[in-house]
């Protein structure tokens, strides 16, 4: 298959990244569609339809792996999928692959209803299609046990809830296998190697953490709780994956200490956003920032880009001079840097009233500058990626994540995005003014 023929939506997400890796292992360089528009991806927004037609044009196979935070889940899962299918119908796509979740008909939570609605859209689309349902990923189970672990002294868990978590990479491998074959309709579900109670998963997690906290099960009424007790999220006859829960925990290594992915919807999801602390600053620096990643699970994040009519060297000169930031962005002051701008170097600075302690993670002249920082207990990763464009101009892509308990009560992604726009606008003005002189 021609490498240009495969499009992966949500290709920078948890599942999408692994799908992309598996395709590359097969010798296929896919197109990666993402709302962020970060370097190496094709910008495409399922919520608005922006640029989707261009992303789909010429694609032979589409693997639809896009997900969305709680507030936009229906717009992405249902409206976004419908929009994508409408555009795809006119693009001569020969295989549309959709990943879904087991037990949709039995769990009445809105996220499951939305996935079921999206499945029906795919089935009625008239396109050749394949739908794969899997049990929840290990990361989902991890978010649940960490939510229970926030209570002091004991970890309370709903009694009898059954799960069969599976490794994300194993699901990605199966998706790629299906995508490179013929359209197959609804294929057999896949599940992890073991059916476990939530209590059992929690005990294993506490053991891995070295915690002596006990697990206390409590009965939880309602249709959703009954569905979980009756195994709606398990598929014993469809065991596929080999990686157990304990093996997954062992692989987490240095990032075991932070509260994980906010769950989708409901009170647990809101509590996770409220108390999400993110990885330790050391893990954020080493595992995320140094590897070109922000914390995608953080409740506050934003990305923006700008075209600057000035050469990369000029833009880099401004970004890589923290002591000079205040000259073109007056809110910044009291910058203290020792010894200089290099990976691992620490610097203190203030942005308005916020005083930050930061450390450079990536310093690649003319290409990327990334740092981590802490202020008022909130931890952040801020990346800038530079790319020369036609006419001697420079494209600057910036993204940032912020996490800290209760941070969402005082700060929002919208505010972060607005401040990022101000910062990039000031950078553009300074670089272009200098270029004209």
The C-alpha torsion from 290 through 293 and 297 to 303, rounded to 10°, is: 130
23 — pLDDT class (breaks 50, 70, 90) = very high
- Given this model, what pLDDT does residue 246 score? 92
Cite the beta strand spans of 93-252 per DSSP E. Answer: 95-101, 129-134, 154-158, 162-163, 185-186, 196-197, 214-218
Task: Provide, rounded to the nearest whole percent, the portion of the chain with pLDDT above 90.
Answer: 54
Closest by Cα among 130, 132, 140, 148 to 164: 140
Beta bridge partners of 133: 100
User: What is the greatest pairwise CA distance in the chain?
Assistant: 72
CATH topology for 3-275? Rossmann fold (3.40.50)
Look up the CATH superfamily of 281-436: START domain (3.30.530.20)
Is the pLDDT at 17 greater than 70? The verdict is yes
**Phi, psi values for residue 363, rounded to 5°:** -135, 95
Task: Provide, rounded to the nearest whole percent, the portion of the chain with pLDDT above 70.
Answer: 90
- Given this model, what pLDDT does residue 434 score? 64
CATH 3.30.530.20 segments of the chain: 281-436
CB burial string 126-159: b at 16+ within 10 A, e below: ebebbbbbbbbbbbbbbbbbbbbbeeeeebbbbe
**Residue 178 is encoded by which pair of tokens?**
């299906």
Omega of the bond leading into 76 within 30 degrees of 0 (cis) = no
Pairing of strands 354-364, 368-375: antiparallel
Range of weakest confidence among 73-87, 155-169, 389-403: 73-87
Distance from chain centroid for Cα 39: 16
Render pLDDT for 89-99 as a digit per residue (tens, 0 to 9). 878 899 999 99
98 and 64 in contact (C-beta within 8 Å)?
A: yes
Whole-angstrom distance, CA of residue 395 vs CA of residue 264: 34
Whole-angstrom distance, CA of residue 175 vs CA of residue 109: 25
Interval 300-321 mean pLDDT: 93
Pairing of strands 162-163, 368-375: unpaired
- The 3-state DSSP class for residue 25 equals helix
Contacts 24+ apart (CB under 8 A), 13-17: 13/65, 13/66, 13/67, 13/296, 14/67, 14/137, 14/139, 14/168, 14/261, 14/296, 15/65, 15/67, 15/99, 15/137, 15/168, 15/171, 15/172, 15/175, 16/65, 16/66
Interval 40-59 mean pLDDT: 83
Render pLDDT for 336-382 as a digit per residue (tens, 0 to 9). 997 789 999 999 999 887 889 999 999 999 999 999 999 888 899 99
- Given this model, what pLDDT does residue 145 score? 86
Interval 54-63 mean pLDDT: 90
CATH 3.40.50.720 segments of the chain: 3-275
- Given this model, what pLDDT does residue 291 score? 87
Render pLDDT for 308-317 as a digit per residue (tens, 0 to 9). 999 999 999 9
Range of weakest confidence among 84-98, 157-171, 226-240: 84-98
Is the pLDDT at 150 greater than 60? The verdict is yes
Render pLDDT for 396-433 as a digit per residue (tens, 0 to 9). 999 999 998 778 877 888 889 889 999 999 999 999 98
Phi-psi category of residue 46: left, alpha or beta, with phi > 0 → left and psi -120 to 50 → alpha: alpha
- Given this model, what pLDDT does residue 91 score? 80
Interval 22-34 mean pLDDT: 90
Give the residue with greater pLDDT, 400 vs 41.
Answer: 400
Render pLDDT for 345-357 as a digit per residue (tens, 0 to 9). 999 999 887 889 9
- Given this model, what pLDDT does residue 85 score? 92
Is the pLDDT at 38 greater than 60? The verdict is yes
Interval 205-221 mean pLDDT: 88
**Phi, psi values for residue 98, rounded to 5°:** -125, 135
The C-alpha torsion from 181 through 183 and 188 to 194, rounded to 10°, is: 50
DSSP assignment letter at 342 = S
Q: Which residue has the tokens 């929009």?
A: 83
Q: What is the average pLDDT value for the chain, to the nearest integer?
A: 86
Give the residue with greater pLDDT, 278 vs 126.
Answer: 126
Whole-angstrom distance, CA of residue 263 vs CA of residue 40: 28
pTM of the full predicted structure?
A: 0.62
Q: Which residue has the tokens 């709302």?
A: 35
């Amino acid at each position: 298959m021609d490498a240009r023929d495969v499009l992966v939506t949500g290709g920078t997400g948890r599942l999408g990244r692994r799908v992309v890796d598996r395709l590359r292992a097969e010798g296929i360089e896919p197109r990666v569609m993402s709302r962020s528009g970060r370097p190496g991806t094709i910008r495409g927004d399922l919520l608005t339809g922006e640029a989707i037609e261009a992303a789909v044009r010429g694609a032979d196979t589409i693997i639809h792996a896009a997900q969305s935070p709680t507030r936009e889940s229906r717009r992405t899962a249902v409206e976004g999928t419908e929009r994508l299918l409408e555009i795809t119908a006119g693009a001569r796509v020969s295989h549309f692959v959709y990943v879904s979740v087991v037990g949709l008909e039995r769990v009445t939570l809105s996220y499951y209803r939305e996935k079921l609605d999206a499945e029906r859209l795919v089935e009625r689309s008239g396109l050749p299609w394949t739908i794969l349902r899997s049990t929840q990923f290990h990361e989902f189970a991890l978010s649940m046990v960490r939510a229970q672990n926030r209570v002091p002294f004991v970890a309370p868990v709903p009694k009898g809830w059954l799960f069969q978590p599976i490794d994300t990479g194993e699901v990605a491998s199966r998706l790629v296998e299906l995508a490179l074959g013929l359209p197959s309709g609804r294929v057999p579900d896949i599940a992890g190697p073991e059916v476990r109670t939530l209590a059992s998963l929690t005990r294993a997690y506490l053991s891995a953490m070295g915690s002596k906290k006990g697990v206390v099960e409590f009965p939880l009424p309602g249709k959703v709780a009954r569905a979980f007790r009756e195994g709606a999220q398990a598929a014993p006859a469809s065991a596929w994956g080999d990686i157990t829960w304990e093996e997954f925990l062992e692989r987490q290594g240095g990032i075991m200490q932070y509260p994980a992915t906010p769950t989708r919807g409901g009170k647990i999801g809101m509590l996770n956003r409220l108390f999400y602390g993110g990885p330790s600053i050391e893990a954020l620096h080493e595992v995320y920032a140094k590897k070109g990643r922000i914390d995608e699970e953080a409740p506050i994040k934003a990305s923006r880009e700008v075209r600057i009519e000035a050469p990369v060297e000029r833009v880099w000169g401004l970004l890589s001079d923290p002591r000079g930031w205040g000259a073109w962005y007056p809110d910044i002051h009291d910058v203290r840097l020792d010894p200089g701008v290099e990976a691992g170097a620490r610097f203190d600075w203030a942005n308005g009233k916020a005083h930050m302690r930061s450390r450079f993670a990536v310093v690649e002249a003319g290409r990327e500058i990334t740092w981590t920082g802490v202020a008022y207990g909130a931890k952040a990763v801020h990346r800038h990626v530079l790319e020369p464009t036609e006419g001697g101009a420079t494209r600057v892509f910036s993204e940032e994540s912020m996490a800290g308990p209760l941070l969402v009560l005082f700060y929002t992604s919208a505010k972060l995005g607005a401040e990022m726009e101000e910062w990039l606008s000031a950078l553009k003005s300074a670089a272009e003014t200098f270029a004209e002189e």
